[in-house]
Amino acid sequence: MATEAELKAAGEKYIPKDYDPALYKLRHSLAHVLAQAVVEKFPQAKPTIGPPNEYGFYYDFDLDVNPTEGELEWIANRMKQIIKGKHAFKVREISADEGRALFKDNPYKLELIDGLTKGQDEYGNASAAAPVLTVYQQDTFVDLCRGPHVEATNDLDPKGFKIQQVTGSYWRGDSKNKSLKRFHATAWASGDDLKAHLARLEEAAKRDHRKVGRELDLFANEPVFGSGFPMLLPKGATIRRLLETFITDYERRAGYLHVFTPDIAKKELYKISGHWDHYKDSMFPPMDMGEGGNDDEELCLRPMCCPHHIQVYKSKARSYRDLPIRIAELGNMYRFERSGVVGGLSRVRCMTLNDAHLFVRPDQVKHEIAGVLQLMKKAYADLGITEYRFRLSKNADPDGPPSDKYVDNPAMWESSTKMLREVLQESGMPFFEAWNEAAFYGPKIDVQVKDVMGREETLSTIQADQHLPAKFELEYKDSDDTPKRPVMIHRGVISTMERMMSYLIELYAGAFPVWLAPVQVAIVPIADRHFAFAQKLGDELLDKDYRVDVDLGDKRMQAKIRDAQLQKIPYILVIGDKEMEANAVAVRLRDGTDLGAKPAAEFVAMLEAVAKSRTLK
Ligand code: ATP
Ligand code: ZN
Ligand code: ZN
C-alpha cells in the first residue's frame, strides 16, 4: 500500500505540461467542492467527471432538473462554507471491487472504474498509465479521482471562484449517450485574480472581432456559404486591400518576386509533395473529374502554395548566382478545418496567406531567415503589434505517442531544427521550444501573439525545409558546375489576411489607425445648404486617395456625428455657415476630442502626415 504522500506525488504526473500546477490543483479541488454542494442540493444528482480547464473547471452531472438562479446561488454559498470548514483532501487507494461497492448507485463511476481497470482514462481513451484506483475525500464527499489536489480547503480562496452557467453536455461527449448538465466555473487563486479575469472577459467581449465586424460592417457569415467561408463586405475588403498593398510593397523592396499560381492542381502534385500522405486530413476531398479524355484525373484545392512555388523555381535552370530566389504570392488556400474550430475570421476554410518561398544555398539560410525576421519586425511596428514571442516548433515529442504527422527523416529534423535554433540564438531574441507544432516537412519559428484573453495564436511563421527540395529534385548549378540542392524557406509574415484582420480588429477594437481605417474622414454638413460644399470637399479628398464618407442624410448634426463615432471614423468634419464662408472645417476625433475649426488645406496636410507616417492612432 502506498502512503498518502506517495499517492499525491503520483497524481502530479497528470498535470498537463503547460499548466500551472498550483492552479490545476486549486481548480480540480474546487470541482470536488462544487460536486459536494450540488449533491447536497440535489441528492438525485450523479457526478460524472469534472476536469480543470483554461480558466477554471467544469463538472458534469446526470441531473433531471435545470437549476434556478437561486439554487446556483445556494450552491456557491455552500461551497464557500465548505471551503471555510478547513477540510483536508484525503487520498486513499482502493481496489476495483471496493470502488464498485462505494459507487454502486452511480453507473458513470462504475463505467469509469471498468475503464480504468482496462487501462483507459476518464474519457475512454487508451492510457499508458498503470491504473491504481484512488479516491479523494473532503468533508463528507468522496470522489473517484487520480488527483492531484491541494492539501486542504484552507488553500482555496472562497472569493476566488464564480459559477458561470449550466449548459447541456453528453456523457463522453457523445450525443448518443445520456445528456448531462455541465456546471461551468472560473476559478483563481484569489478574489483579485478572479476580478481581473472577469474584467478581461468583459473587455474581450467588447473587442470580439465577430461583434465588431458586424457593428462596423466589415464581414459577415452567410449560412448558405457554409461555416468557415465568411465574406468581406466593402469596408472589410478595403482593409484587406490595404494590408495586401502594404505587405507586397515591403516585399518588393526586399527583393521578393510576386507570382500568381492556380488554386487547384492534380492530386499527383500533392502525392509528390507528401501533402497527400501527411496532410490529407486537412484537405478537402479531391474532385473526381470522371472518365475519358483529359478530364480523367482527380483535382485538389490546394492547402498550401509550396508545391506551386516549386514549379516556379523549376520553370528554368538556376545557377548559384541566381540564389536566393524569393517567390511570393497572396496565395489562396483551402483547408478542411473541423466545423467546431472555425469561427469569425481567425480560423476559416478558404484563406489568403501572405506566402513566400525562398530558394537559397545552404550558406544563405541563416542570413535569409534573419532578413525575414527583419521584415516581420518592420511590418509589426507599422501594424502596432508590440507583444509577441518566438516559438521554435518541433516535431513529435520523443517521450510522447508516435506520430505519422511528420516525414520520417531524423537527420533532416535534427539539422533543420539546429539551424533554426541557431538563428534565434544569434538574433538574441528570447524564444521557447515546443514539440508537436512543426510543419510535416520541417520545424518552424512561429511568432506567437496574445489575444485579449491572453490566448496565444500564430501570426508569422518561418520554416526551414530540406524535404520538399529533395522530393521535387530541385537543383542549381554551383560554381564548380556541379548540381546542388537548394534549401527552401517557407514564410508567412502577416499571416492570412483573415487571421490578421481578426487580430487587428480586436487589437484596435475597430478603431483602426488612420492608414488602415476603411473610412478615414466623415463629412457632416449641418443643413441642406451645406451639402454642395461638403460634397466638393469630399470629392477633393477622394481625388487625393483618401477614404471619405459624406453624410447627406436627413438626420440632425449631433446624430450624424454620433453615427460617425460609432463607426470609429478617425476624423469627423462638421460644415456649417462659418466653415463654408472661410473654406474651413470643424474637426472632431472619434473619441469626442474637438480640435476646433481649421482651414481645409491645413486639415488635408495633417491628414497626409498622419496617414503617410502610419501613425498608430
Ligand atoms: P495552425 O497551427 O494555426 O492551424 P498551421 O501551422 O497549419 O496553422 P501554416 O501552414 O504554417 O499553419 O500556415 C501559415 C499561417 O496561416 C499560420 O501561421 C496562421 O497564422 C495562418 N492560418 C493557418 N490556418 C488558418 C486558418 N484556418 N484560418 C486563418 N488563418 C490560418
Ligand atoms: Zn479530483
Ligand atoms: Zn510553404
Helix, strand, coil shares of the chain as percentages rounded to 5? 40, 25, 35
DSSP letters for 306-352: HHHHHHHHHTS--BTTT--EEEEEEEEEE----TTT-BTTTB-SEEE
> Does residue 285 sit in helix, strand or coil?
coil
Q: Is 4 in the pocket of ligand 1 (CB under 6 A)?
A: no
> Which ligand places an atom closest to the C-alpha of 329?
3
Identity of the amino acid at 402 = P
Q: How far is CA 160 from the centre of its chain?
A: 27
- Helices then strands, counting H and E runs in the chain, come out as 19, 27
Q: Whose CA is nearest to atom 29 of ligand 1?
A: 347
Which cell goes with 145? 479521482
Looking at the chain, how many residues does it have? 617
CA distance 578 to 585: 9
Which cell goes with 180? 448531462
Collect all residues with Cβ–Cβ distance below 8 Å to 475 and sequence separation of at least 6. 318, 483, 484, 485, 486
Q: Whose CA is nearest to atom 1 of ligand 1?
A: 458
Could you identify the atom of ligand 1 that is nearest to the CA of residue 460? 18
Question: What's the CA-to-centroid distance between 446 and ligand 3, angstroms?
Answer: 14
Q: Whose CA is nearest to atom 28 of ligand 1?
A: 347
Per residue in 533-560, pLDDT tens?
A: 999 999 999 999 999 999 999 999 999 9
Collect all residues with Cβ–Cβ distance below 8 Å to 66 and sequence separation of at least 6. 166, 181
CA distance 238 to 258: 21
Q: Is 459 in the pocket of ligand 1 (CB under 6 A)?
A: yes
Q: Is 458 in the pocket of ligand 1 (CB under 6 A)?
A: yes
> Does residue 598 sit in helix, strand or coil?
strand
Q: Is 445 in the pocket of ligand 1 (CB under 6 A)?
A: no
Question: Is 569:522 a contact under the CB 8 Å cutoff?
Answer: yes
Which cell goes with 301? 484545392
CA distance 239 to 517: 7
> Does residue 410 sit in helix, strand or coil?
helix
Question: What's the CA-to-centroid distance between 71 and ligand 1, angstroms?
Answer: 44
> Does residue 474 sit in helix, strand or coil?
coil
Pocket test for ligand 1, best of 337, 347, 494 (most atoms within 8 A of CB): 347
> Which ligand places an atom closest to the C-alpha of 33?
2
Closest by CA position to 211, among listed 497, 452, 519 = 452
Question: Is 407:462 a contact under the CB 8 Å cutoff?
Answer: no
Q: Is 348 in the pocket of ligand 1 (CB under 6 A)?
A: yes
Number of alpha carbons in the 13 Å side-chain half-sphere of residue 319: 4
Could you identify the atom of ligand 1 that is nearest to the CA of residue 304? 10
Could you identify the atom of ligand 1 that is nearest to the CA of residue 461? 18
Q: Is 347 in the pocket of ligand 1 (CB under 6 A)?
A: yes
For cell 446561488, the residue is: 73
Question: Is 546:521 a contact under the CB 8 Å cutoff?
Answer: yes
pTM here? 0.84
> Which ligand places an atom closest to the C-alpha of 333?
1
Integer angstrom CA distances of residue 58 from 148, 165, 176, 403, 609:
16, 10, 21, 30, 52
CA distance 268 to 383: 39
Question: What's the CA-to-centroid distance between 30 and ligand 2, angstroms?
Answer: 9
Integer angstrom CA distances of residue 33 from 112, 189, 457:
20, 15, 33
CA distance 301 to 265: 7
Could you identify the atom of ligand 1 that is nearest to the CA of residue 463? 11
pLDDT at 131: 62
For cell 453615427, the residue is: 563
Could you identify the atom of ligand 1 that is nearest to the CA of residue 459? 20
Q: Is 353 in the pocket of ligand 1 (CB under 6 A)?
A: yes
Residue ranges in the chain modelled with pLDDT below 70? 1, 127-131, 291-296, 617
> Does residue 608 sit in helix, strand or coil?
helix
Helix residue ranges, H only, 444-496:
467-471
Question: What's the CA-to-centroid distance between 266 and ligand 1, angstroms?
Answer: 23
> Does residue 92 sit in helix, strand or coil?
strand
* All domains of the chain in start order, with CATH: 4-204 (3.30.980.10), 215-288+299-508 (3.30.930.10), 521-612 (3.40.50.800)
Closest by CA position to 183, among listed 340, 88, 78, 339 = 78
Q: Which residues surround ligand 2, an ion (CB under 5 A)?
A: 145
- The number of beta carbons lying within 10 Å of the beta carbon of residue 223 is 6
Report the DSSP beta bridge partners of residue 476. 484
Q: Is 351 in the pocket of ligand 1 (CB under 6 A)?
A: yes
| Bridging pattern class, strands 325-334 and 257-258 | parallel
Question: Is 569:590 a contact under the CB 8 Å cutoff?
Answer: yes
For cell 462596423, the residue is: 216
For cell 484596435, the residue is: 508
